[in-house]
Amino acid sequence: MLWHGDTTVPSQWGLATFVRRSIPVIGQVQGFVHKEYGADGYGDHPRSRSAHGVRVYDHDAARAVSVTHMHGLRDLRGKMDTPARADQARKLRDIARQVSAPGDLRIVCGDFNVQPDSETLAILGRDGLTDLVTRGGFLTTRSAHYTKPGKFADYMMVSDPYAVRRFDVVAAPEVSDHLPLVLEI
């Protein structure tokens, strides 16, 4: 449960994917990358985490594109590498593989809750994905609303960097403690 003052707000795990109606969804997969579904609420930390992948068809480019995202494990101790985060990265990789077909442009993104030198990015990198945040030299993916140490959490990884027309980490306006990642392919 989430809370609004003293009122409980029913919720599950807070992950959503939005696809424009004009873009055909030709496949999808969802799975947990940490723990499992909890019927009695979120439970204690570390809480369950899921990932969702969609495969869409890009008529303009005459190709399929898969996009897989997650909100990664939050560890109250920080964003360091842990066995649970490495396991989560392997499960995310497997979900991204499951929704993709050979030749697809693959995109894997989200709030991974790790630092740029993390094992998570290394695991995904060994699967042929390039991180656009670190490659682009961006200094942070967090806004001034985030006051803790560690100025990274969000990543955008692609299987073919040459397919990227534009990528940006948008600094203004600030509407969250995360900065939006905008990818044009």
2-184 CATH fold: Deoxyribonuclease I; Chain A (3.60.10)
pLDDT score of 44? 67
Which of the pair, 141 or 147, is modelled with greater confidence? 141
pLDDT score of 152? 93
45 DSSP 8-state letter:
S
Assess whether pLDDT exceeds 70 at residue 77. Answer: yes
Which of the pair, 10 or 62, is modelled with greater confidence? 62
Band of pLDDT at residue 13, cut at 50, 70 and 90: low
pLDDT score of 76? 81
pTM for the model stands at 0.91
pLDDT score of 2? 65
User: Structural domain boundaries of the chain?
Assistant: 2-184
